[in-house]
Structure 1
Amino acid sequence: MLDDASGPLIYLTMPYESAGELSAEAARLAAEHGLICYDPQSEHLRPVHDD
């Protein structure tokens, strides 16, 4: 899916009922690759939690 990705951002859509779990995983993956994760609905950066 992202093999040909380029540019300053990746926009992900996800079902509402899975958003909490999926956004946590997206934030974790972003941090693992030295990137940041922004939540446009809350208008904040998505922190990474070590649960």
Structure 2
Amino acid sequence: MAQLLGNALETYTLSLFTRTAGWTPDEVYTLLNGVTEEVSRNKMHLYTHL
């Protein structure tokens, strides 16, 4: 699950943050690494409508 989420986050976040917010790709990947670590900890429970 975390890997799937990580791939989706990379796809959407990289484009948005580099084009709109002016971030460098390295800054985005640093952010994504932190997000992936947080999601992988299993202390957070995510719910979504299908």
TM bin, normalised by shorter chain, reads 0.3 to 0.5
Q: TM-score, normalized by length of structure 1?
A: 0.36
Q: Name the structure where strand makes up a greater proportion of residues.
A: 1
Q: TM-score, normalized by length of structure 2?
A: 0.37
Larger Rg: 2
Q: Name the structure where helix makes up a greater proportion of residues.
A: 2
